[in-house]
Amino acid sequence: MLIDMRKVEQLIELWFDEDSNYFDLTTKIMVDDDAVATFGMNAREDIVLSGLPMVELIFKKLDPGCTFEALFKDGDRVPAGTTFANVSGNAQALLTAERVALNLIQRMSGIAGLTAEYVKEIDGTGAFLVDTRKTTPGLRMLEKYAVFCGGGRNHRLGLDNGIMLKDNHIAVAGSIAAAVARAKANAPILTKIEVECDRIEQVKEALEAGADVIMLDNMTNDAMRECVKWVAGRVPLECSGGVRLETIRGKAETGVDFVSVGRITQSAACVDIGLDDI
């Protein structure tokens, strides 16, 4: 996944404004201005790494001359007890940046690790795991990048990335056919149109209307198998709604092309990573 590092730098400004405001009071009192230090970033549990380029930017925001050495790369599995990066530079700057850096990489690596678990569950089914817009406000780009690091694929990055006609859009338009027709008449020519369906009758209507992708929302596995058989590969099918780690394989085995999971970003726990003096 491509990342706009200019936007990351803008976010870093906000994170430092939130955490240190005018200055880091403790560090300013306890550490000399010219003191230098070297710290290692250590995995305290098994992790799938995500966020290293962003962490380097965080440290270099406060000490542009610091040295950041990545010993692994994003997407790598790092065993517990392993040092995956070292940073050396002005001690005040590194200590002030510590919590911002750890908060981010712990969150992103948690998402990457949970994503990898879901991807493993559907291995061999032919279905792809995709994320949703259920992300932390302000962190969507980075959380979706973390999904990519864990082996998942990205759905829409935002509302302007594609047209998804959900039940309320269809209700306002009057029917699936009317909603798709209106979307086709007004959308940019390369924009795909996805239609949310919860019954096979709606799937048939969406296909006949010219939908590019059809979402099977909260359907049973039997109903999805019927839809897969009827659509017969004419358009991609996405399974969505209430997918859990223990249920995803059965859903993927119905023959759908994509399984979207909000939990990989919405419910992932942060992993334990430390910044320790060397």
- Give residue limits of the domains in the chain: 5-114+269-277, 120-266
Q: What is the mean pLDDT of residues 23-30?
A: 95
Q: Where are the beta strands (DSSP E) in the chain?
A: 36-43, 47-48, 67-70, 77-78, 83-90, 128-130, 163-165, 193-197, 213-217, 237-240, 258-260, 273-277
Tell me, what's the pLDDT at 1?
66
CATH entry 3.90.1170.20 includes domain 5-114+269-277: yes
Q: What is the mean pLDDT of residues 247-273?
A: 98
pLDDT digits (tens, 9 = 90+) for 121-176: 999 999 999 999 999 999 999 999 999 999 999 999 999 999 999 999 999 999 99
For the segment(s) 120-266, the CATH number from 3.20.20.70, 3.30.300.90, 3.90.950.10, 3.10.20.30 is 3.20.20.70
Cα–Cα distance, 198 to 179 (Å, whole number):
16
Q: What is the mean pLDDT of residues 61-81?
A: 98
Under a CB-based contact definition with an 8 Å cutoff, are residues 98 and 66 in contact?
A: no
2 pLDDT more than 90 = no
Compute the C-alpha angle 41/80/60, nearest 5°: 15
* Residue entry with tokens 């306890």: 30
Which sequence positions are flagged as catalytic? Answer: 99, 134, 166, 196, 217
